[in-house]
Amino acid sequence: MVKLIKYLVIIAVISVAGIFAWKYFFGKSEINVLKNRIYSLASEASKKPGESLPSAIMHAKTVEKFFTDPCQVDVGTHMFSGQYSQVQIGANSIRYRYMFQKVTFTVHDLEVTLTGNDTAKAFLTAELNGLTKSGQSVSAFRELECTLVNRDGKWLVSKVAINKIIEK
């Protein structure tokens, strides 16, 4: 009887250790899920040279799904700050895609913190590099603070604020 209890305890310890090892090596942490979501947003927002109109529309529809409806945007000027619906975000995405031959958004120094069960903050440096249709090269950096919420298992950006404009 003592041997049976001893074996059961050993099996239980090995099982618990196995579960923790599995989660550690193979499980995705919520922080990694959030980071991948932000990197995916930057990728979807970027435009390759020669992009067709149907492709631009598809990317814009995908971009709008990364945001809550509405989403608060604070960019330092009253003209562009405010609440935007997902449709408005998609329309703005189409608008800037039309202005550029190519544009790349890159995320640097990404730090994500869970602030609650279904909320998180992301701090990052966003880099925009592009070539306008008129041939002008554009490069800009912004330090951003994003608030994200988990809705139905998907992390969505509910607020974007510029912390600092970085001059090159």
Q: What is the pLDDT of residue 75?
A: 81
Q: What is the pLDDT of residue 149?
A: 96
CA–CA gap between residue 159 and residue 154 (Å, rounded) = 15
Q: What is the pLDDT of residue 145?
A: 95
Closest by Cα among 165, 95, 101 to 129: 101
Q: What is the pLDDT of residue 64?
A: 94
Burial of residue 92, with CB atoms counted within 10 A of its CB: 0-12 exposed, 13-18 middle, 19 or more buried:
middle
- 27 by DSSP, 3-state: which? coil
Question: Which structural domains are found in the chain, ordered by start?
Answer: 29-166 (3.10.450.50)
Q: pLDDT tens digit string along 140-157?
A: 999 999 999 999 999 999
CA–CA gap between residue 5 and residue 109 (Å, rounded) = 51
Q: What is the pLDDT of residue 7?
A: 60
Segments in the chain below pLDDT 50: none
